Amino acid sequence: MIPPKAGSLKVDIPGMEIRFRFKIFSLSLAFAAVLNILLWLIIWFKFPPSDIPYAIRYSILSGADIFGTQNTLLVLPTLGSAMLIINGLLAFLLRKKEVFLSYVFLVMSVIVQLFLLIALFGLLKFNGQI
């Protein structure tokens, strides 16, 4: 059995050993935060405030059918920020009791930000910004 290192929490699961490492926690949250900041910056610079509406939803059959302004597009990074804060808080609170679940919340924070970026690139393409 490996002794726990400083800054880690050891959890014994039969056949498996999981340690909560604060370095991984910090790096995961930092990576998700950088992706979220990237969302904010792309929307702010690629979709300037204007009177011309942007396509928010695009369908292959009917084309663009929902339009909105820059404020409507800012819902994406706002939701991403909310999910980042909630998942980070839950991961931090569960780090001693449920180490694996804490890692799941951290990974989901990154995955949510990646999916929001993919959706944003679709919006960029539909609006002719790429």
48-85 per-position pLDDT tens digit: 887 888 888 777 777 777 788 888 888 889 999 999 99
101 vs 2 pLDDT, higher one: 101
Is 101 a member of any domain? yes
Is 6 a member of any domain? no
Is 5 a member of any domain? no
The widest CA-to-CA distance across the chain, in whole angstroms, is: 65
pLDDT tens-digit series, residues 13-26: 554 555 657 777 88
> pLDDT at position 14, please?
55
Q: Cβ(64)–Cβ(55) under 8 Å?
A: yes
CA 20 to chain centre: 21
- Non-local (6+) Cβ contacts of 89 within 8 A are none
- Tell me the residue range of the domain where 68 lies: 14-126
> pLDDT at position 30, please?
92
Is 98 a member of any domain? yes
Is 50 a member of any domain? yes
CA 110 to chain centre: 5
Q: Are strands 16-21 and 54-59 parallel, antiparallel or unpaired?
A: unpaired
Structural domain count, the chain: 1
Neighbours of 37 (CB within 10 A): 14
**pLDDT band with cut points at 50, 70 and 90 for residue 116:** very high
pLDDT tens-digit series, residues 85-113: 999 999 989 888 888 898 899 999 999 99
Is 9 a member of any domain? no
